[in-house]
Amino acid sequence: MRGRLLFVLFGAACLVATGCASGPTPHLSASAPSEDARASLGRIGIRSGPASPSGEWNMPAKGAAEGAKRGAYLGAASTLGGSGQAAILAPLGAAIGAVVGAAKAEPAEVVEEAEAVIKSVFAEVAIHDGLRDRVVRVTRAETRHTVVPQEDAATAAGADRPEPTDGGTDTSLQISVQCYGTKAARTPNPPVHLFVDTDVSLLRVADGSVLYSRRLTWVSPGRPITAWGVAKGEPVRQELERGIQDLAERIVDVIFLLRPFP
């Protein structure tokens, strides 16, 4: 049973939630724009929005009590299966898991302090406009397309495309950060990952038709919660900068350079 318990704990630790629960999933184009379509994009406006990103914050257990609760659940779950002795073993598994979970959990104040630091850095970093500006720079550096940054789309609630005429552009690349935050498994003290979910839409300005749309997710490597909260959140700030660069390069690759998403 102990081997099975360790296996379940390891497997659960590897599970990370994908994306935010709120918000509709956009229509995704079957393939990237064709070479002919890219050649006729003309002058391209790159804008952020419209979107009001939501935050999703999955954290390790806050204190021994919550750690014991998570550990007990995993310990009991590890005994479930085809064995007729599951009802007998489940309390024992829960007891062992509770002890392990309580021992592994960080103090509540440590997790709460690190969580506050992470949230403050996310609020400080201009992810929306920063991603737009980075896409402009990467596009200009790596392609021959003419691109211009534009302000956030000031459309009415529920609108999903820019106005038909905007600054003399032929095509509009709209980048909407939908959600961001942290991902962590429901184990006592799992690694914590940063993430950003972004929708990308390429539209023809003349008629508002969607040429291409896609959702991209960036997820950072995992770190202990205590590693994110040090130095006033500098590790979070640096990782977000890398994430913005990664998303910008992937957007340019698929929209302008004929490279498919991985």
Q: Evaluate whether residue 171 is within a structural domain.
A: yes
Place of tokens 């914590």: 192
b/e per residue, 16-49, with b = 16+ CB within 10 A?
Answer: bbeebeebeebeebeebbeeeebeebeebbbbbb
Q: Which helix (H) or strand (E) element contains residue 71?
A: helix 64-77
The structure's pTM equals: 0.81
Evaluate whether residue 55 is within a structural domain. Answer: yes
Count of structural domains, the chain: 1
**Domain contains 163:** yes
Does residue 11 fall inside a structural domain? no
For residue 8, what is the DSSP state? H
Query: What are 185-236's pLDDT values in tens digits?
Result: 999 999 999 999 999 999 999 999 999 999 999 999 999 999 999 999 999 9
Establish if 208 belongs to a structural domain.
yes
166, pLDDT greater than 70: no
Domain enclosing residue 34, as ranges? 18-61+107-256
Could you tell me if residue 91 is inside a domain?
A: no
Which CATH number fits the domain that encloses residue 232? 3.40.50
- Extract the tokens encoding 57: 């914050």
CA dist., res. 61 & res. 67, Å (int):
5
Average of per-residue pLDDT across 142-148? 92
Residue 164 has pLDDT above 50, yes or no: no
260: closest CA among 199, 220, 212, 195? 212
In a domain, 167, yes or no: yes
Does 210 reside within a domain?
Answer: yes
Q: In this predicted model, what pLDDT tens digit does every residue of 45-54 receive, in sequence order? A: 999 876 678 9
Cβ neighbors of 194 (< 8 A, separation 6 or more) are 118, 180, 181, 182, 183, 219, 220, 228, 236, 239, 240, 243
> Using one digit for the tens of pLDDT, what is the confidence trace for 3-19?
444 444 444 444 454 55
pLDDT at 190: 97
| Residue 70, pLDDT score | 92
Q: What is the mean pLDDT of the chain?
A: 82
Evaluate whether 96 touches 75 at the Cβ level (below 8 Å): yes
Average pLDDT over residues 249-260: 81
